[in-house]
């Protein structure tokens, strides 16, 4: 059993489809202002592992839009809350270069052990409109092969997503360690 510290139900649903035995802990942690997801996750993990007894996992993710020089990136949660998907679409009006990617950094630790980190990315495009009501956050504006992540069931999204890549890497690491 792993504690997944997150306030995001969508993240938890996707992670549960990968790990099965996962308990969501919505206890919050400090998300520092830093230039990389790795720094945010490393700092968060120190805080969280001192507060919980048992294996714990956190994940920090972001959307990086090439034409916006990587914005919103580490500010993805704040930008989603403020200007939202319509705001990103407005920033991208008349922009031809639509390429973007999601990145996920997952950190995991057991009591008294060093933490480990795994990363994943999915590359796609910012569409011209929101499509689909599944998923969460930026999913309706992020397209892979002309289908938005908001149109995908969890199983489909988990075949290609940044989160599935980082979490499957952790899962394989845990299984390899078991031998």
Rounded to the nearest whole angstrom, what is the least distance from the CB of residue 178 to ligand ITT in the complex? 26
Distance CA 150, CA 134 (A): 5
Q: Using the rule CB under 6 A, give the single segment among 45-53, 106-114, 129-137, 170-178 that binds ligand ITT.
A: 129-137
The catalytic position among 21, 60, 139, 146 is 60
Instruction: Count CB-CB contacts under 10 A for residue 160.
Output: 16
Looking at the Cβ atoms of 84 and 171, the one nearer to ligand ITT is 84
User: Which listed residue (7, 20, 87, 111) binds ligand ITT by CB under 6 A?
Assistant: 7
Q: Should residue 135 be labelled a site residue for ligand ITT when binding is judged by CB under 6 A?
A: yes
Dihedral angle sign, alpha carbons of residues 19, 25, 28, 29: negative
Q: Should residue 76 be labelled a site residue for ligand ITT when binding is judged by CB under 6 A?
A: yes
Q: Using the rule CB under 6 A, give the single segment among 7-15, 45-53, 87-95, 170-178 that binds ligand ITT.
A: 7-15
Distance CA 2, CA 94 (A): 45
Examine the residue annotation and report whether 60 is marked as an active-site residue of this protein: yes
Contact 38, 117 (CB under 8 A): yes
Beta strands 2-5; 56-65: pairing state? parallel
Residue for token pair 């599944």:
134
Looking at the Cβ atoms of 127 and 137, the one nearer to ligand ITT is 137
Active centre residues (catalytic): 60
């Amino acid at each position: 059993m792993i504690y997944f510290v997150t306030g995001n139900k969508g993240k938890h649903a996707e992670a549960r489809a990968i790990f099965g035995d996962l308990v969501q802990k919505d206890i919050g942690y400090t998300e520092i202002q830093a230039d990389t997801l790795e720094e945010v996750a490393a700092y968060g993990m120190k805080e969280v592992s001192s507060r919980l007894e048992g294996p714990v996992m956190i994940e920090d993710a972001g959307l990086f839009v090439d034409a916006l020089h990587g914005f919103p990136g580490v500010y993805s949660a704040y930008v989603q809350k403020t200007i939202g998907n319509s705001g990103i679409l407005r920033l991208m009006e008349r922009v031809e270069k639509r390429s973007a990617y999601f990145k996920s950094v997952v950190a995991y630790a057991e009591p008294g052990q060093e933490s480990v980190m795994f990363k994943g990315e999915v590359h796609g495009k910012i569409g011209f409109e929101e499509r689909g009501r599944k998923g969460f956050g930026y999913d309706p504006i992020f397209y892979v092969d002309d289908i938005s992540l908001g149109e995908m069931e969890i199983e489909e999204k988990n075949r290609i997503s940044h989160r599935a890549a980082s979490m499957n890497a952790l899962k394989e690491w845990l299984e390899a360690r078991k031998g």
